[in-house]
Amino acid sequence: MAIIDMSKVDLVALEKDKQNILNAFQDSGMLEVVAVEEGSFHAQEDWFESLSFHSNQGTIEKLEREISEVEFALSFLNQRVEEEPEKNILVRSRDLDEVLQQKEDILAIASVCRDFELEENEIDSKRHRLRNLVTKYLPWLGLNLRLEDIQDTKNMMIRVGSVPKSMAEDFYRLVMEQELSFIKALGEEKEDAYFFVAFHKSLRSMARDASKQYDFTQAHFGDVRGTPEGIIAQLEKDIENLYQQKEMLQKRAEEMAGKRRQLMILLDVLSVELQRENAAYHAVHSKKTFVLHGWVKTTNEAALEGVLREHVDFYKLDFAPPEEDEPFPVYTQNVAAVTPFEMVTNLYSVPASNGIDPNNVVAPFHAMFLGLMMGDVGYGILLALGGYFYGKKAKGGAKKLSGVIFYGGLFSIFWGILLGSYFGDVGTRLGVPAILMNPMEDPVSMLALCLGLGALHILVGMGVKAYMLIKEKKYLDAVFDVGFWYFLLIGLPMLMTPLASTGQVMALVGAVGLLLTQGREKKNIFGKILGGLGSLYGITGYLSDILSYSRLFALLLSSAVVAMVMNQIAAMVGVNWIGYIFAAIIFVAGHAFNLFIGGLGAYVHGSRLIYVEFFSKFFMGGGHAFDPLHKETKFTSIEKKEAV
């Protein structure tokens, strides 16, 4: 459970060799570059004025803009092409050089994609406007007149407009009752009714009053000419032309799909270059030299200097251990079975550099708890297979997550065999017995088992705390703060066993020991006594922590019940050949749902038990994960050596 030792690195080299050195460090992946702080130099020094900080800010901003453009182009093309893009492209160093030489041409592809998007947006905007116009003229389809002909004559006034539907009947009746007027209903839409009205100019006053009374809204068509039917037909034709224009753009975008490979390679090339420039950003420069600070694993000191010696002739490289209490980047190196669970720990917090790596104790308990909450052979097989095969292709955090799922699946198989669960109660239906117990038939024993595992988990956490104290040579603290609690917490349950007398002695020793030692930091006798008494009250916290492990039983039970219900429904449906088909669908879909929901809950609650009940006993977080300069790519894998 050790954290790898780190050494500070100070490098002074010629400015002309900077890019060559950074390239070499990036290829090696051994050095984490950290900022050279301006405060570390004295402004009063004569040479201070010649130093340059963050001299490559413009280069970084240019790379970020180029990356943004390439990402946009890839997103644009991916959305318009159904074919999945090539993944994990294997490239050689000379391929990267060729792509860099063609950078401007490839960036021009992104510019074309920008133009396409602007054109598409303009087409969509025009279509939207035309659709609104179609909606505007639809109510007037019953008007068999050209719009330019709707105007007053010498003796008549012509109006087209609408009134609220609730007033339409009364409005129509009023106009019809007038001798020198004509009205035609054109139709209704939403909350309005539309009319054509003609009346003699002598009725002007009556028309004005009627308009106010019935909320008549006159329609105005401006300079638009033609009949509503003809206007709508032309609008629909224009909309169809816009559809055709967009289809042509789509075809042109599909023709550009072959450029995605170049875009993906360029994106990785630019990303690698940006990573390198971000490292250079942390350096400080004079006219002829630069200074770089960083961290390297102590075991890689010689290898790092060897890399440097291969690429440059003039440099000054110094290594130094961290100062006392100086934080340094944390790197944990574990066996393959433990490595995936580093993700679980780091999601909570990276261990402090002066702490310990908890993953060797996190791994078995997290996997065991996840497996217990699933507690099914069928689900365990699916989890293990899914985690294994996904892990073959995944990288980084996804690969570690697949490992967590894989080992959780193995433990699910283990617990499923002990508890007799095979896709719920399928095993019971087939006569396969539980080896240990059936949780549905003996819930009390199952709950006791879960609480017992919780107590063991907490005791292990306390043991890790004792280990840390002993490592710091605080032997008495280990006895006082952990040993006496062990006596008390182990002795109390023993009072209910045949070893009650032994348990009584252990509990008494633990209680007295805590009473006498937990106030030892206090100055006066009353403070020491109160400190001891207060510490004994802490037993309620331990009991509360142990009860939290009842969630293991709750999630196991809920998953088992859902599985049983799905099996029961499938059995009820499967009474003939058609029922068998539906039964199979119910079985597969139901168990897939249960596996997803149960697995998600098991991961979350298993992690919670680690974070809250376990880590609270010993864990020191707040560390910074070791992040050396390296080539982090998204789409490509770079060959280290050229094929012969």
Summarize pLDDT for 43-96 with one digit per residue, the tens: 445 555 567 777 788 999 999 999 999 999 999 888 887 777 777 788 877 777
* Whether the Cβ atoms of residue 7 and residue 296 lie closer than 8 Å to each other: yes
Enumerate helices (H) and strands (E) in the chain, giving the number of each: 22, 12
Do 395 and 522 belong together in one domain? yes
What's the domain range around 194? 151-220
CB atoms within 10 A of CB 21: 22
Note the pLDDT of residue 50.
Answer: 63
Residue 528: its pLDDT value, please? 66
Please tell me the distance from the alpha carbon of residue 644 to that of residue 641, in angstroms, as a whole number: 9
Q: How many whole angstroms separate alpha carbon 417 and alpha carbon 412?
A: 9
Tell me whether residue 583 is in a domain: yes
Task: Find, among 258, 247, 239, 241, the residue nearest to 116 by Cα.
Answer: 247
Rounded CA separation 601/619 (Å): 24
CA angle (126 as vertex; 149, 238 as ends), nearest 5: 60
The reply to whether 346 falls in a domain is yes
Q: Where are the alpha helices (DSSP H) in 484-619?
A: 484-494, 500-517, 525-537, 539-548, 550-573, 577-608
Mark whether 213 and 353 lie in a shared domain.
no
pLDDT of residue 526: 65
pLDDT, one tens digit per residue, over 422-448 is 999 998 888 899 999 999 899 999 999
What residues are paired with 185 via a beta bridge?
Answer: 195
What is the residue whose two structure tokens read 């709950």? 447
DSSP state of 69: H
User: Has residue 641 been placed in a domain?
Assistant: no
State the total domains in the chain.
2
DSSP-derived pairing of the beta strands 156-164 and 315-320: unpaired
Centroid of chain to Cα 615 = 24
User: Cβ contacts of residue 396 below 8 Å, gap of 6+?
Assistant: none
Q: Are residues 346 and 199 in the same domain?
A: no
Cβ atoms of 297 and 32 within 8 Å: the answer is no
Predicted pLDDT at 237: 94
- Kind and range of the H or E run holding 211: helix 204-213
d(CA 161, CA 153): 18
Residue 227 lies in a domain: no
Output the CA torsion 527→529→534→537 (10° steps): 180
Residues 351/342, Cβ–Cβ less than 8 Å: no
DSSP run (H or E) holding 293 = strand 289-297
Rounded Cα–Cα distance for residues 17 and 289 (Å): 9
Instruction: With residue 241 as reference, give the H or E element that holds it.
Output: helix 228-255
How many residues appear in the chain?
644
Is residue 569 a part of any domain in this protein? yes
Residue 189's DSSP bridge partners are: 192
Per-residue buried b or exposed e for 33-44, using 16+ beta carbons within 10 Å of the residue's own CB: bbebeeeeeeee
Give domain status of residue 49, yes or no: no
Alpha carbon distance 30, 7 (integer Å):
11
Give the CATH number of the domain where residue 191 resides.
3.30.70.100
- DSSP SS3 for 218: strand
Rounded to whole angstroms, how far apart are CA atoms 336 and 467?
A: 24
pLDDT at 396: 80
- 174 burial via Cβ count (<10 Å: 0-12, 13-18, 19+): middle
Residue bearing tokens 């199952």: 446
Stated as kind and residue range, the H or E segment containing 292 is strand 289-297
Ranges of the chain whose pLDDT falls below 70 = 1, 37-50, 524-529, 640-644
Strand 636-638 and strand 89-91: the pairing is parallel
Residues 206 and 347 both lie in one domain:
no
CB 38 within 8 A of CB 53: yes
Give yes or no: residues 215 and 352 share one domain: no
How many Å apart are CA 326 and CA 622, to the nearest integer? 13
- Look at residue 527 in the predicted model and tell me its pLDDT: 66
Q: Is position 188 within any domain?
A: yes
* Amino acid identity for residue 229 in this structure: E
Dihedral sign (CA 222, 227, 228, 230) = negative
Give residue 326's identity as a one-letter amino acid code.
Answer: E
In eight-state DSSP terms, residue 330 is B
Determine the pLDDT at residue 81: 79
Residue 69 pLDDT: 94
Inside any domain, residue 45: no
